[in-house]
Structure formats: structure tokens, C-alpha cells
Chains A and B, each alone.
Chain A
């Protein structure tokens, strides 16, 4: 075993803790969408930084793995960089920004635009795992609801959305039903990515550190977004392609360019966008965009 930092076990957690987390993961895989309690450990970072996801990643990581870490689709935010560095230091694993090369992808919000493949694992950092919490704060009651598959309450929330906004306004953490059985909160992932969870060839693991829960979607599992017959589930639509790489059908972030109302829409998946540009795809504002957006010197 490579021990890069003497004093740390491989991937920081001790073997006993990792075994405990793996047992929780196995149970979660066996019961898709079911929240398995686990003895969450203190990690050397604040809870808001995704300690649940970090613990899951630490428990599954092997020496041969290639790790990618994203936050809001970007490999370069402070959160993504520090988690990547954490595993470089404590596990010595190779890291990458390239989706196709990664064997383990830890994410806070997005699922990469490049379709995941068999053999890949995506680990989600989850703040609040209980989708029913919004309307039913009593945990004994939500547990009974899961046990008896009483999920009408989730539709009460969607009803409220439509009554207030005229449509289902929930755009993040949009509730899904997994494998026709368990109601699940897909973490702060935008609903745009919900369809990617459905029948994904990759293993999907969810870790909530503060709430001490792990849940999972095994490969090729049915994941259905809840809706009403007369208000069917729809993903966010964007009017224009990415201003930098001209990609369509991808999730775009709005970037404010100046005080005069200048703005542009660019891929939230930065690696995807950069790869497309390297392949020669050109969006309408490529070359004009400031360097902080394109991360290329302006021409």
C-alpha cells in the first residue's frame, strides 16, 4: 500500500470505519433508494463541504482508481479542488477532470454531460437526504411513510408549487421514485440531471454526513421523477446553445459579464465545455468572453 502521508491510513479513514461504511453501501445497493443509517465520522473539513460524500469515496476508493471531483459542474471550485487534493494526499490516487477517464466521480450538484459508463461510480454529497422533511419534520413518521410506501405528502409539495407558481417550480432536489419503491431526494442536483439517473449504467451512491445516511441507485435501475398527469415532469430548457462551445441540450449557467446587464450562458460542466472547444466547436461569444469565463486568454 502506498502511504503518501505517514500517519494517515489509505484514504484517511481507518479500515474498520471503511468496512462499516461499505456494509452500509452494500445494504443501500441491495435496497435501491432506501436511506441506510451509518456512523458518520468527523472529517477534517466542515459538514457543508460534503463529508458524507467524502466518506463514501474514501470507503470505495482503491489504489487503481482515477478520481474526478466536481462542484456545480466545475472541477476548479475551492470545494472540488480541496477534496481532490485531500484524496491525492491521503490516497495517492490519480485524479482527472476528464469524465470518461474517471472511475470514481464525486459531485455536489451536477451529473457530467458525458454519459456515464458501466464500471464508473458517481458519489453525491447530500445535505438533507429526507425528501419528506419539508412537510413532515417527525422522523418516526417519515420512516413509517417510507416503510408503508405512503408518499402522498410529496405530491402535496408539488401541488403547492403549482398553486403558487403555475407550474412545478422545484428545480433542485426534485423528488424521484427509485425502482418503483422508495421515494428519494437526489441531493441538490438540478432536475435537469434527473433523467440521467434513470437506467444509468454507472453505480450511484449518495452520502449525507451530518444526517448520517447513505443511499444508492444500482446500475440500470428505474428512476422516475414525480409529477401530475396534467403537469408532467419537464427538464429545464435553455433557449440558446452554450455561448462558448455551442453545445445544445446541456445544462447552462448564467454568467454576469458587467454592470450594464451583459450576460452569457455557458456549460456548467466546464470539462465538457473545454473538451468541445478543443475539438473545434465554437459558440457565438467564444473569443469575446472574459478570461474568468472561458479560462482562456481573450483573443
Chain B
């Protein structure tokens, strides 16, 4: 399952760290992410994986290290040296962010169609018919019935909201999508359907994804590589199947045995 078409990394994370006063959020995190690659960041709560995600998506300012991103024009930029306008533009075009709580990622009071169309309008699309057409297309791709296009997500089930949030992010063809426990809080059958959908979309679109999860089953199903975090540090990293089938670190062994052998 490789779509590693480009030879340069899309994202380069270099000794990234974040301290909250004397407390360590995360420390000395380095990795490279290539186009089409799915990286799962796993760990228990408090492991630093959420801090890391906030740093990577530029919602938090790091206290150490750098993040370099290869922009659509091929230039490599330190994301924390982008202007606010450039960063916001990047976040609503070439990046996506799927929140665990769909209400955080959606505008609950406006229709599904407008939720999907917002990014297009933000980048200057001024043709209603085209926006509507793109919204319908994306609703279809995330398996939401066309006749729900004018309904607000308030009336949607949890699984539908999450699928709508995914469509809203993907409409601008981002190359990198961050996901924060995207299946968290959903029923098991709903989770399975969402994971299948995500897996298909990621493969079809050649997306790069950084997914934070405490659920190793999610990591196994979606990711090529995995990073295990504990106490703010990366303690083990490697191909997902290798790490989950044959973990080297005692802590990872513990995680795997407690979660996967249920």
C-alpha cells in the first residue's frame, strides 16, 4: 500500500518540543512524512500526542525545533515563519483537520452544502452552480444522500457529521490531513463504516495523513507507519504491522497486549 511517488518529504519535523513552564508537553520529536503516507501517533492520554498534533497543525507554538512543509509550488517553508495570512490560507486549502467532535469542525447552523462549499468560497469561487455541484459530488463520496444537502448538520447522526466534516476538508484537495481521534465516541458499527470510507479516500486521493489515536485497531487499519509516544517522547517508531506484531519496547508490548487482545 504505497503511493510514495515523490522523493522529497512533504513534511519534515525536526526536534520539535513544547514545554508548558517546567512541564513537558512533548520533546525532541523528529520524523519525515512523504506524500501518500499515513502516520499514526498512538499513546495513552497524557503521552503528548495531542500536544504534538496541535504543534504540527500550527495551533500551538513550539518551544523548540522546526516544521518544514513542501508547499504546492515546491518551495519548502518553515510553517512557523509563514505570515498569519499564508498559514490560514494553507490550513484551508492544502491542509485539512478532522476533529473528534464534529461540532468543532463544522458550522452547525448552516447547511451541509454550505459546510462543504465554504472552503471553495474562501478561495474565491463565486459560481453558485459550481459550488453546489462540488458539494453534491463530495456528499456522494462520503455517502451522504444528495437530498440532505440543504439540511444543517444538527439533524445528522454522529457518523454523518463526521463524514460531512471529512467532505468539508477534502473539497479543496488538500495534500495533508490531520485527524484527531476521528472515530472516537462513535458506535462500533459506525466506526467500522467510517474507517472503511477513510481508508478508501486516503488511498484514492493519495493523501498524507497524521492521525492521532489511542485505538491501535484504528492505527492498524489506516496507517503505514506508527509512532508510539510516552511521557512526551517518541519511544518506538516503524512500519505499523511490524510495530504492532513485534513491538520492541516493553511499553509498546504492554499497549499492544492490552488493546489488541480484547
Contacts and interface: CB of A to CB of B under 8 A. Distances in A.
B113 to A, nearest CB: 6
A160 B118 CA distance: 11
B180 to A, nearest CB: 20
Contacts of B111: 160, 163
Contact of A148 (B85, B124, B127): B85
A159 B114 contact: yes
Given A148-B85, A228-B128, A159 B117 contact: yes
B110 interface: yes
Interface string A151-188: 01101100110111000000000000000000000000
Contacts of B131: 159
Given A148-B84, A159-B131, A229 B126 contact: yes
B150 A156 contact: no
A230 B129 contact: yes
Contacts of A152: 118-119, 121-124
Contacts of B127: 228-230
A148 B91 CA distance: 14
A86 B109 CA distance: 42
B110 A155 contact: no
B154 to A, nearest CB: 14
A229 to B, nearest CB: 5
A232 to B, nearest CB: 10
B193 interface: no
Contacts of B123: 152
A5 interface: no
A16 to B, nearest CB: 37
Contacts of B110: 135, 156, 160
Contacts of A229: 126-128
A156 B88 contact: no
Contacts of A227: 126
A160 B121 CA distance: 12
B148 interface: no
A284 interface: no
Given A135-B107, A148-B84, A231 B122 contact: no
A113 B118 CA distance: 37
B249 to A, nearest CB: 42
B67 to A, nearest CB: 21
A152 B84 CA distance: 17
B209 to A, nearest CB: 25
Contact of A156 (B117, B126, B129): B117
Interface in B60-108: 84-85, 88, 107
Contact of B84 (A144, A228, A231): A144
A160 B114 contact: yes
A89 B84 CA distance: 51
A139 interface: no
B76 to A, nearest CB: 23
Interface residues of B, number: 24
A155 B113 contact: no
A228 B132 CA distance: 12
Contacts, number: 55
Contact of B121 (A156, A163, A230, A231): A156
A150 interface: yes
Contacts of B122: 150, 152-153
A163 B150 contact: yes
Nearest to A149: B85
Contact of B113 (A148, A159, A230): A159
Given A156-B114, A160-B114, A150 B128 contact: no
A230 B150 contact: no
Contacts of A144: 84, 88
A209 B121 CA distance: 32
A227 B121 CA distance: 11
B128 A230 contact: yes
Contacts of B121: 152-153, 155-156, 159
A160 to B, nearest CB: 5
B84 A153 contact: no
Contacts of A164: 150
Contacts of B119: 152
Nearest to B113: A163
B150 A155 contact: no
A33 B84 CA distance: 22
A228 B107 contact: no
A167 to B, nearest CB: 10
A162 B126 CA distance: 13
Contacts of A148: 84-85, 88
A229 B126 CA distance: 6
Contacts of B88: 144, 148, 150
Contacts of A228: 126-128
8 contacts: A148-B84, A150-B122, A152-B119, A160-B114, A163-B111, A228-B128, A230-B127, A230-B128
Interface of B: 84-85, 88, 107, 109-111, 113-114, 117-119, 121-124, 126-129, 131-132, 149-150
Given A163-B111, A230-B127, 4 more contacts: A144-B88, A152-B123, A159-B121, A160-B114
Please provide the 4 A-B residue pairs with the shortest distance between their CB atoms, ordered closest to farther.
A152-B122, A152-B121, A155-B121, A228-B128
